[in-house]
């Protein structure tokens, strides 16, 4: 568990907190494995930051669960929530362990990296530059999945993370895009984010 | 860690073992969350079985890493492998914890289940019956993703698991299919596996 900001109790529905923990922990695993395999320290740092978020969510969830439980029946209903949240927290800790490996400069055996590279789908991480045609557009307008075979699985905007963004979500200048797709599609998205490729073919 | 069979040392490349551990641990998380949300004890039992497999792989990997390391340079190269494998093992333990919750009859708060159900993609688990038109066909022939929007993410055949099956892999009678897709597509696949739906539209 990393350093924590002071925890402020906020009344948030446990469902909202649990869904967010689940989504974040799943994303962290993808990011952590990718950071290890491609020795990408930016991805590793993202993982450590997300771990702090998950830790905070776990504490907030614990508080909200306590307050939500009024009697024995509530407590039993909420026990599952609390245990699933603990598991999501453990998963995020394991992802952070992988990220630490990367940041400590411990490499992955080249043979292993080769093996993982053969997987068809890979992750990419790109900053959207001022000149990029992606900037200001919604995911629905861009239709990246059907056009270049790439899914945006998260958008990092400063300290905010939008996990599994929807069609109405917009890409802004300075956003960091975490994307999944074929290596060709990812390479193309990198050039679009950089501003070197100025149009999207249908 | 569940009960283990006696471990037999087999010389298997560490890359093969690590890729299998990574794939299994990722699948287990999906299965575990789904088992919790839909209170599906079959999925939960699958998770516990896969956990034993991951534990076995982790031990085999440890032995192979020891034997592969001849000098300090090898040891440093292989440290990353060993640490990533530990993290995959922790992830699989967390998934198993979720499965235990389900098998102990601890429910998930209905509000939370509602929240997860809204997610577009769901998992399904179906046994392929004798009359099913899926039986004997390769995934390439079936083209389930483009026809009904469903991906087969694993095939369980007795004690064997085929994770992320490829186009050339065939579905056999008695196979258990773990699938991901829209609720409509999953419902259709269920009827195909059952043998109640006898043709696939294009």
Q: Encode pLDDT of A148-166 as tens digits.
A: 989 999 999 998 999 889 9
Of A81, A106, A108, the CB nearest to B112: A81
Instruction: In whole angstroms, give the CA distance from residue A168 to residue A185.
Output: 22
Q: Are residues A93 and A27 in the same domain?
A: yes
Instruction: In whole angstroms, give the CA distance from residue A189 to residue A133.
Output: 11
Is the per-residue pLDDT at A128 higher than 90? yes
Using the 8-state DSSP alphabet, how is residue B104 labeled?
T
The CA-based dihedral angle spanning residues A162, A25, B79, A34, taken in that order and rounded to the nearest 10 degrees: -40
Determine which of A105, A108, A164 to mutate to test the interface with B (most B C-beta atoms within 10 Å).
A108
Q: Are residues A185 and A135 in the same domain?
A: yes
Q: Are residues A84 and A150 in the same domain?
A: no
Which ranges of chain A would DSSP assign to H, the alpha helix?
Answer: 14-37, 41-68, 72-103, 110-117, 139-142, 144-148, 183-194
Distances from the Cα of B6 to the Cα of B52, B53, B55, B59, B62, angstroms: 12, 12, 12, 11, 15
pLDDT value of residue B119: 63
The residues pairing with A180 across neighbouring beta strands, listed in sequence order, are: A123, A151
Residue A3 resides in a domain: no
Residue A81 resides in a domain: yes
Instruction: In whole angstroms, give the CA distance from residue A20 to residue B53.
Output: 29
Q: What is the DSSP string of A128-169?
A: --TT-TTTT-BHHHH-HHHHHSEEEEEEEETTEEEES--TT-
pLDDT value of residue A2: 47
Distances from the Cα of A64 to the Cα of A53, A70, A189, B115, angstroms: 16, 12, 41, 17
Q: Are residues B96 and B165 in the same domain?
A: no
Identify whether the C-beta of residue A60 lies closer than 8 Å to the C-beta of residue A130: no
Residue A29: other Cβ atoms inside 10 A: 22
| Count of all residues that appear for chain B in the document | 202
pLDDT value of residue B2: 47
Q: How far is A150 from chain B (nearest CA, A)?
A: 16
Residue B11: other Cβ atoms inside 10 A: 9
Half-sphere exposure in the Cβ direction for B164 (13 Å, CA): 14
Identify whether the C-beta of residue B82 lies closer than 8 Å to the C-beta of residue B62: yes
Of B25, B84, B90, the CB nearest to A101: B84
pLDDT value of residue B4: 54
Of B15, B19, B112, the CB nearest to A18: B112
ipTM above 0.90, yes or no: no
Residue B8 resides in a domain: no
Q: What is the CATH number of the domain that holds A78?
A: 1.20.58.220
pLDDT value of residue A120: 61
Q: Are residues A98 and A130 in the same domain?
A: no
Beta strand extents in chain B (DSSP E only)? 122-127, 150-157, 160-163, 176-181
Residue B79 CA to its chain's centroid (Å):
27
Q: Are residues A84 and A128 in the same domain?
A: no
Residue B66 resides in a domain: yes
- For residue B37, give its domain range: 14-103
Q: Would the CB atoms of B87 and A106 count as touching at under 8 Å?
A: no
Q: Are residues B99 and B34 in the same domain?
A: yes
Determine which of B13, B14, B15 to mutate to test the interface with A (most A C-beta atoms within 10 Å).
B15
With a CB cutoff of 8 Å and minimum separation 6, the contacts of B47 are: B28, B31, B32, B35, B95, B96, B98, B99
With a CB cutoff of 8 Å and minimum separation 6, the contacts of B9 are: B60, B63
Q: Would the CB atoms of B94 and A94 count as touching at under 8 Å?
A: yes
pLDDT value of residue B84: 85
Residue A106 CA to its chain's centroid (Å):
23
Q: Are residues A187 and A131 in the same domain?
A: yes
Residue B6 resides in a domain: no
The CA-based dihedral angle spanning residues B1, B5, B10, B16, taken in that order and rounded to the nearest 10 degrees: -40
B contacts of A81 (beta carbons < 8 Å): 108-109, 112
Residue A201 resides in a domain: no
Render each residue's pLDDT in chain B as its tens digit; 202 residues: 445 567 778 888 888 888 889 889 989 988 998 888 778 899 999 999 999 999 999 999 999 999 988 998 888 878 888 888 998 999 999 999 989 988 988 767 776 676 666 666 788 999 999 999 999 999 999 999 889 989 999 999 998 999 889 999 999 999 999 998 888 899 999 999 999 998 887 7
Q: What is the mean pLDDT of chain A?
A: 87
Instruction: In whole angstroms, give the CA distance from residue A166 to residue B45.
Output: 33
Q: What is the CATH number of the domain that holds B178?
A: 3.30.70.1450
CB-neighbour burial class of residue B93 (10 A; exposed 0-12, middle 13-18, buried 19+): buried
Number of domains in chain A: 2
Q: Which helix (H) or strand (E) holds A125?
A: strand A122-127
Instruction: In whole angstroms, give the CA distance from residue A198 to residue A192.
Output: 6
Q: Are residues B98 and B173 in the same domain?
A: no
Q: Would the CB atoms of A18 and B83 count as touching at under 8 Å?
A: no
Residue A114 resides in a domain: no
Q: In what order do the strands lie in the sheet with B176-181?
A: B122-127, B176-181, B150-157, B160-163
């Amino acid at each position: 568990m990393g350093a924590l900001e002071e925890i402020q109790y906020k009344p948030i529905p446990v469902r909202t907190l649990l869904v967010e923990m689940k989504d974040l922990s799943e994303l962290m695993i993808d990011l952590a494995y990718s950071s290890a395999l491609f020795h990408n320290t930016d991805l590793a740092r993202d993982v450590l930051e997300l771990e702090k978020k998950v830790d905070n969510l776990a504490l907030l969830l614990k508080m909200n669960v306590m307050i939500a439980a009024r009697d024995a029946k509530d407590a039993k209903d909420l026990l599952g929530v609390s245990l699933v949240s603990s598991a999501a927290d453990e998963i995020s800790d394991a992802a952070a362990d992988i990220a630490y490996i990367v940041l400590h400069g411990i490499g992955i055996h080249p043979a292993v990296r080769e093996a993982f590279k053969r997987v068809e789908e890979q992750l990419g991480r790109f900053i959207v530059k001022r000149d990029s045609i992606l900037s200001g557009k919604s995911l629905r307008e861009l239709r990246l999945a059907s056009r270049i075979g790439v899914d945006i699985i998260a958008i990092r905007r400063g300290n905010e993370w939008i996990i599994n963004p929807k069609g109405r979500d917009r890409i802004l200048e300075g956003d960091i895009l975490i994307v999944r797709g074929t290596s060709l599609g990812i390479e193309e998205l990198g050039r679009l984010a950089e501003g070197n490729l100025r149009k999207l073919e249908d």
